[in-house]
Amino acid sequence: MREYHGFSWPETTGLFQPVPLGIAGVALFLTGLLSLPKHHNKEKQERQENQDGSEGPGLAKSLLLFCYSCFLKPHSEDSKKSQQSALESFYASQAGVYDVTRKALLKGREDMLALAAAQLQQKASKKDGYGKMKRIWVDVGGGTGWNIEAMSEFVNVPEFFTSIYLVDFSPSLCEVARKRFARLGWTNVTVVCEDARKFRLEDYEDGLPSGQGSPARSSSSSSYFEQKRPEHGGADLVTMSYSLSMMPDYFSIIDSMTSLLAPDGIVAVVDFYAQSDVDIAYRNYTGGAVGRHINYVSRTFWRAWFDLDRVNLEPARRDYLEYRFGTVLTANLRNKTLGAIPYYIWLGCHKKPFSSSSLPHEIIERIDALATESPYLLPADRRPSNVTSRLTRAIERTAPEIRSKAFDAAVQNLSANLPLPSFFYQNHHWRVYYDDRLQKHTQFNDEYIYAFTWEDSQVDKKLLNLGPDDVVLAITSAGDNILSYAMQSPARIHAIDLNPSQNHLLELKVAAFTSLPYSDFWKIFGEGKHPQFRSLLMSKLSPHLSSRAFQYWLHNSHIFTSPRSRGLYDTGGSKHALRIFRWISYLFGCRRAVLDLLSASTLQSQRRIWKSRIRPALLSRLVSNLVVSSERFLWAALGVPKNQLSMIEADHASMTSSSLSNKDSSRAHAIWHYMVNTLDPVVEHTHIAESNHYYLVCLSGSYSPQCHPDYLSPAAHKILSRTGALDNLRIHTDEIDEVIARIMPGTLTVAVLMDSMDWFDPSSAAAAKQVMKLNRALKMGGRVLLRSAGTEPWYIRQFERHGFRAKRVGNRVPGTCIDRVNMYASCWICEKVENLRPVTPPEVAEGDIMI
């Protein structure tokens, strides 16, 4: 017997444990229940309806019954000390009020169901006979059947699922479930009161793999001992809702789930947890760690508190779950209603595929080939012969190092019998594997700099004129330019950014194209706000996002939903510049003038408002000296690094007369002069409200139906929302050098570097090394498009020394616009005209093809 604050509790050894709270938390629990919004599920707050249709006790009586059962009721001792009798001793008196009293405690169940339903619908949409296909769901530890009824919020349960099996070991809870489904009239649900370790789906469903005989159908003891559970089963969905943490023998339960799950099925789990970063420090397969760390004090408190009631929050349960399956999505959240109890939602699949056409090494080889532009897209044992075989041998011998980091990680995991990184289990392979624990990624503190792109897509389109054979490499930024290139349907686009959050933003846009109608797409990215964003993220967007991107946007969903938020375009590092501009406009009393500028119907009226009411404040020497010329402001708000700032200062110094004072040749004057040359021509020559969305979004915080980026048009949505329209996209989270070093030589046709070359130190050899790598990766005639804050960038000479012919295609003359952004002083195209001398490995034999 075990003492629980003055009363006895029977020791149990079975599968499931009750879910009471420790007596120390009863006040906290009651407070949480009573603080539920009155409008939320009003019917259940006013009365608890029994499954046979009669009215049960009201909320107050339900709470009293719950407290009595959990904290005061003496529990009878069972002579056999069986798990089932212990469960009955606890649940029998409160089974009828279980659901209403767990509403506040068991958070995240609806979210888990929404994510699971979204995954199933995504998989079903790829198959023929969507409405007729067989679909099976097993709810392990399903209790009263609340999960199954709640699933009706996301799918039509009687039609979507052919068969549903609720498996639980408590007769009282199972009886409540039977009454529930009788009331609902759902004949496709079977309630199985059984130890979940012994449940065999093949005993209820025909045509499923059953191993070597089934003990339920064989009386032979020899056949019983020969029984081997199959590697996979027929369940499309297996769920566990707050039951894993209550299982003493959780190893066998998790192992048994693999034989329940269909080859392409989904496992969905929601439960409590308490872990630290140390627990997953050396694992690349857990799907990301956003919000996973719990500090020592909280970790110790929650583990001790839950342990009083045999609810186990030790890391091993979740760790083993993630080891036995591949991670599709994961999220770490807090139950703020009840003292921020940590809980997680996890979706997984088999750690290896079972389809004969999709063996693990074939998937890895294909993803590797797509990331590296390898000309051989088939695994080694299926390569063609003759001339093509000679070509592949030559490639292997001349460039054996051409493998993606995804390939390296996959090989390492397979050799250790670990699941592959979660990127391999996504429905789309847009995102290329990266290690999110590296300092080069964490330095950005989970924040992107740009919420919108500062390169003129119309100019890019005219200069590049992309065709179906082009292979494009470009910096991601906010992804607007990437989507503009995608509308031109090149063969492949490699989007690169070292900041993971910039790529998360692009992933969100790509997922939205794939899953949302134009009206929702416009609200999120046109207006920058959507009150239902979190719901859309769960039910529509999640199947199209990598686990890391999903976690990021779940954690930051308030950007789109919070009434206090100004929306998407008031986020990121660049928000500081926008907020300072707003502060300046209020300080100088010209906020009204900004609104008038945005509503100006003609270019003439726009010029007048700018010159008389806004320019005197924004371009004042006071603002330039105190704010804009600050190196910290230029980097944090505008993304201007010190080397680029030096180029601006050098250009200014070369243009100023020796007769000017030191004050006029200072950094503040250089920045002021650069701003004048940027902003004055923009106002003079472009109508912001009608045709210059780059400045419209800065001033108003959103786009308009008349003025927006190319990708936000209905026509673009029609093009990019087609099935497979974005399958040519690969999103790399890494340095440019790292990516192009792992791309097959001579495969790129276009590289768009924006102003990234401005960041190099002129005294370093880094720029020359990158130019040489670009030469190696580009085809003959391939082009590099770049912009610069300098009129004659020093690194252009490096291109000319290493096989390129450089041509300036844009030059910002004072008083004119180089493009609608007008932020850069020059624009260049460097065309590859010469191959650099290759290094020939000595092992290449005569007669083999040289690359």
Same domain, 130 and 147: yes
Q: Which residues, 6+ apart, have CB-to-CB distance to 100 below 8 Å?
A: 44, 45, 48, 59, 62
Paired with 829 in beta bridges are 785, 807
Interval 676-732: pLDDT, tens: 899 999 999 999 999 999 999 999 999 999 999 999 999 999 999 999 999 999 999
What local confidence, expressed as pLDDT, does residue 636 receive?
52
Same domain, 250 and 345: yes
Q: In Å, what is the CA distance from 573 to each residue of 49, 578, 640, 763?
A: 52, 10, 11, 28
Same domain, 615 and 688: yes
Using CB atoms within 10 Å of the CB of residue 285, give its burial: 0 to 12 exposed, 13 to 18 middle, 19+ buried.
buried
Interval 116-172: pLDDT, tens: 999 999 988 876 544 457 899 999 999 889 999 999 999 999 999 999 999 998 888
Interval 742-760: pLDDT, tens: 999 999 999 999 999 998 9
Please give, one letter per residue, the 3-state secondary structure of 295-350. Answer: CHHHHHHHHHHHHCCCCCCCCHHHHHHHHHEEEEEEEEEEEHHHCCEEEEEEEEEE
Question: Which of residues 574 and 740 earns the better pLDDT score?
Answer: 740
Residue 631 lies in a domain: yes
Residue 109 lies in a domain: yes
Same domain, 346 and 381: no
Predicted confidence band of residue 311 (pLDDT cuts 50, 70, 90): confident
Closest CA to 740 of 773, 763, 697, 717: 773
CA 768 to chain centre: 35
Whether pLDDT at 33 is above 90 = no
Closest CA to 36 of 105, 97, 94: 105
Cβ of 444: how many Cβ atoms within 10 Å? 16
Same domain, 202 and 341: yes
Same domain, 86 and 225: no
> What is the identity of the amino acid at 499?
N
Question: Of the candidates 56, 78, 99, which is a domain's last residue?
Answer: 99
Please count the structural domains in the chain.
4
Q: Considering only 75-79, 282-286, 605-609, 808-812, which range has the smallest mean pLDDT?
A: 75-79
Domain of 274, CATH number, reads: 3.40.50.150
> What is the identity of the amino acid at 418?
L
Whether pLDDT at 34 is above 50 = no
Predicted confidence band of residue 638 (pLDDT cuts 50, 70, 90): low
Closest CA to 466 of 490, 435, 439: 490
Distance CA 292, CA 280 (A): 9
Residue 481 lies in a domain: no
Q: Which residues, 6+ apart, have CB-to-CB distance to 396 below 8 Å?
A: none
Residue 328 backbone phi and psi in degrees, to 5: -95, -55
Same domain, 165 and 303: yes
Same domain, 189 and 138: yes
Q: Which residues, 6+ apart, have CB-to-CB distance to 728 below 8 Å?
A: 486, 489, 490, 491, 492, 493
Predicted confidence band of residue 4 (pLDDT cuts 50, 70, 90): very low
The structure tokens 């600050």 sit at 630
Domain hosting 29: range is 2-99
Whether pLDDT at 441 is above 60 = yes
> What is the identity of the amino acid at 404?
S
CB 635 within 8 A of CB 641: yes
Residue 398 backbone phi and psi in degrees, to 5: -85, -25
What local confidence, expressed as pLDDT, does residue 685 receive?
95
Same domain, 109 and 94: no
Residue 176 lies in a domain: yes
Residue 781 lies in a domain: no
Residue 794 backbone phi and psi in degrees, to 5: -65, -30
Same domain, 269 and 390: no
Closest CA to 319 of 293, 288, 286, 362: 286
Interval 251-307: pLDDT, tens: 999 999 999 999 999 999 999 999 998 888 889 999 998 999 999 999 999 988 888
Q: What is the DSSP letter of 38?
A: T
**What does pTM read for this prediction?**
0.84
Closest CA to 634 of 682, 674, 598: 674
Distance CA 809, CA 831 (A): 12
Same domain, 7 and 77: yes
Whether pLDDT at 392 is above 50 = no
Residue 371 lies in a domain: yes
Biggest CA–CA distance in the chain, Å, is: 106
**Helix (H), strand (E) at residue 463:** helix 457-464
Residue 7 backbone phi and psi in degrees, to 5: -135, 165
Question: Of the candidates 47, 73, 99, which is a domain's last residue?
Answer: 99
CB 708 within 8 A of CB 469: no
Paired with 348 in beta bridges are 267, 327
Closest CA to 246 of 17, 11, 2, 22: 17
Whether pLDDT at 43 is above 80 = no
Predicted confidence band of residue 67 (pLDDT cuts 50, 70, 90): low
Question: In whole numbers, what is the pLDDT of the chain averaged over residues?
Answer: 81
Residue 453 lies in a domain: no
Residue 368 lies in a domain: yes
What local confidence, expressed as pLDDT, does residue 10 receive?
32
Strand, coil or helix: what is 534? Answer: helix
Question: Of the candidates 383, 400, 425, which is a domain's last residue?
Answer: 425
Same domain, 183 and 153: yes
Q: What is the mean pLDDT of residues 636-663?
A: 67
Question: Which of residues 670 and 806 earns the better pLDDT score?
Answer: 806
Share of the chain above pLDDT 90, in %: 55
Distance CA 733, CA 777 (A): 18
Closest CA to 554 of 570, 566, 542: 542
